Structure 1
Amino acid sequence: MPLTRQCTLAGVARSTVYAQRTPQSPVALDLELCHALDAIYTRCPFYGSRRMGVLPR
């Protein structure tokens, strides 16, 4: 299927598809949260998303 048709069906402009985006550097808080979640998961890999969301800090 041509790209123009795909863009029309998705409701986006073709320029959006061709735009070159520069990667954003991660925010310090995001990295801190990722490391905290990783530490919890390493200790308790059987925890699901619900329990991970309600853990005390």
Structure 2
Amino acid sequence: MDDKTKRIITIIVAIFLLITAVSIVGFILKQLIPLAILVIAGYIVYRLVAKKGKHY
């Protein structure tokens, strides 16, 4: 194989790996965003309840 063929194969493999990585990250974000929203909402509720619970 000459240098041009190796370069084309390398570019194709790099594009394939990039697409795979982006799809995996997208899948992880789809799973984690609802969980993160619930955690943030729970923390806000906790802070509101904890602030009202203090009697100084």
Shared fold (TM-score greater than 0.5)? no
Greater relative contact order, per chain length (Cα 8 Å cut-off, separation 6+): 1
Normalising by structure 2, report the TM-score: 0.34
The structure number with the bigger radius of gyration is 2
